[in-house]
Structure 1
Amino acid sequence: MPDAPMRYRSPDEDSARWQGFAVRPGDIVISTRSKSGTTWMQMICALLVLRTPDLPAPLTELSPWLDWLAEPADEVYGRLAAQRHRRFIKTHTPLDGVPADPRVHYIVVARHPLDMAVSLHHQGANLDRSRLAELTGQPEGPEPDQPPPPVEQALVRWIDADPDPRTELDSLPGVMWHLRDAWARRHRPNVHLVHYDDLSADLTGQMHHLAELLDLDPPGPDLVEAATFDRMRARADRLAPDPAGVFKDRRAFFRNGRSGQGSALLDDATRARYRARAAALAPPDLLGWLHRDG
């Protein structure tokens, strides 16, 4: 008998919502850490499944975040149950917290953790925390409008922090927990690991490869163009993951974060400290792939 899925909970999410959800054969589950290419992969899947750059509804309606507490579970289940097309569903839960089904495809998108942390820092400044607290029934922090620390300082704190990865999945231990689990499953025919840098370097090739893995028709140039950063940012009103109005600026969600930006902000000693921490949290072959070491 398979082990019961791990449960992950935070003030905003609860992976237990997966236990009340009925999957269908062919479903696509997009499992990522925050700011690692989630919305990008949702858009790619939308284009490959629906075959048009003019999506019939906002991306968050087509591909809801199933475990987000800001939307009632019954509403999310109902919206997905009504979909007649092949479904593609967002989650930030690691694969060990999602019911495993050989008829379902699981896509895990990874990004260099330092680049992810920089983007996460900037997204934090774009959140309306009062609105988020209202939606999730959580109390506001004592000083919600206090300016964030400089990004360099925040990045050093992020590297040194050592929380329980199961409760703070966007921490460095949490990122490695998520990816280590996916890496161990990568040889399964329905588990697909995608690197953010590969999407950046060869979007056409990556979309064609994903279409083959998912048994979908290859995309034409119009579909690839619709998945580019500039096109997505121009349509932020329909593509930003903000169904409940928690962003101050939807266009700011599509910040042009560059690969290597995180490492460039560190001095040599801090960069070495990051490498040592990462080496203690993940196996060398995963780190070589994640860090693009040759």
Structure 2
Amino acid sequence: IGEKPAVLIMSADPNKDLFHREVLFDFHGVPMIQRFTTNWEKIQNFQARPDDILIATYPKAGTTWVSYILDLLYFGQTSPERQTSIPLSERVPFLELTVSPTNSGVDKAENITTSPRLIKTHFPVQFVPKSFWEQNCKIIYVARNAKDNMVSFFHFDRMALTQPDPGDWSSYFKRFLEGKLLYGSWYDHVNGWWKKKQTDNKIHYMFYEDMIEDTGHEIDKLCGFLGLSLSVEEKKRISGGVQFDNMKRNNMVNYSTSQVMDFKISPFMRKGKVGDWKNHFTVAQNEEFDEDYKQTMKNSPLKFHWEV
């Protein structure tokens, strides 16, 4: 991780700066990149509204999945045209992303005219703008088991051309254990949000593996948290629409409209399975991981499923 560069000058042309891999630097104790920190004051001063819903995850833990579920819950029937004409990334802005001075997640969120505003972030809990807490916003956090999360993040870093260079799998594996990836330690992230949830009843903590196992049941729990009631037909329609293969084929959801992702390297939505880590971890890596996990998580009450 390098030192923080003094200044970032981004082009007014939103496409000019897209295709270069950024370099991690230490930002308040967390490895970050410039497109998520250059607008820091504006991000931290973001004015949340009481009915805003924030979707928070470590990268590649089900962000798009939950974003799509929420968008269907709130707007699937009232605004069906948005499902076929507006990419999900525009409907659910990415709070900390700054592509150019005229293209940022904060701007997109501020320009949303529908209510509630659905906003996503990968921030560890300490980076969340204080207005979300002050306004008592509902926050949905999704956690995914560390092995599958690591694999998914690795393939995303390979195909997303603005992400730091992932290197080979074995070096990536080491950096994950050391917390030297973008957004820092998986352990700190999932545990930090869990700890916050213990004192804040506005946080709904979900597990990716539970969503795989019984999507309908998790949607029921989400609706209970959000105070929504769904008809049986509507629940069935949403559960079907958000199945992985349907989302993977949906060009408004699968990020195929993104200019910064190389789908020839890997699709954005790759497998959506629990247990794919077995196709990547060597026996030695799995032993090393399990030992490290046991030590690091020994005081954590969180329990993850490694297969379903």
The interval holding the TM-score normalised by the smaller chain is 0.7 to 0.9
1:20 partner amino acid? N
SS in 1 for 2:55: strand
Q: 1:10 aligns with which of 33, 49, 52?
A: 33
**Structure 1 residues 165-186: Cα deviation after superposition (integer angstroms, max 9, x where no partner):** 4x73456xx1111111011122
How far residue 198 of structure 1 moved from its aligned partner, in angstroms, is 0.5
Alignment pair present for 1:122 and 2:147? no
CA contact 1:50–1:85 (8 Å) conserved in 2: no
- Point out the more displaced range, 59-68 or 70-79: 70-79
Cα distance in 2 between the residues matched to 1:116 and 1:286: 19
Correspondence list, 1:263-274, <5 A? 263=278, 265-274=280-289
Match of 2:3 in 1: none
* Compared CA separation, residues 71 and 223, structure 1 to 2 (3 A): farther
SS in 2 for 1:161: helix
Please report the TM-score for the alignment, with normalisation by the length of structure 2: 0.75
How far residue 272 of structure 1 moved from its aligned partner, in angstroms, is 2.4
CA contact 2:62–2:144 (8 Å) conserved in 1: yes
1:68 partner amino acid? L
SS in 2 for 1:220: helix
Which has the larger share of helix? 1
Alignment pair present for 1:160 and 2:160? no
Cα distance in 2 between the residues matched to 1:22 and 1:231: 35
Cα distance in 2 between the residues matched to 1:258 and 1:79: 31
2:153 partner amino acid? L
Q: Report % sequence identity.
A: 22
2:190 partner amino acid? L
CA contact 1:108–1:193 (8 Å) conserved in 2: yes
Match of 1:221 in 2: 236
How far residue 246 of structure 1 moved from its aligned partner, in angstroms, is 0.5
Match of 1:21 in 2: 46
Please report the TM-score for the alignment, with normalisation by the length of structure 1: 0.78
Match of 1:3 in 2: none
CA contact 1:60–1:242 (8 Å) conserved in 2: no
**Structure 1 residues 194-253: Cα deviation after superposition (integer angstroms, max 9, x where no partner):** 111111011011011101101123352112211111211111x21134765111229911
CA contact 1:60–1:243 (8 Å) conserved in 2: no
**Structure 1 residues 63-120: Cα deviation after superposition (integer angstroms, max 9, x where no partner):** 0111012254775334323322201111110111102335211111111111111112
Gaps spanning 5+ residues in structure 1: where? 1-5, 134-140
CA contact 2:148–2:277 (8 Å) conserved in 1: yes
Match of 1:191 in 2: 203
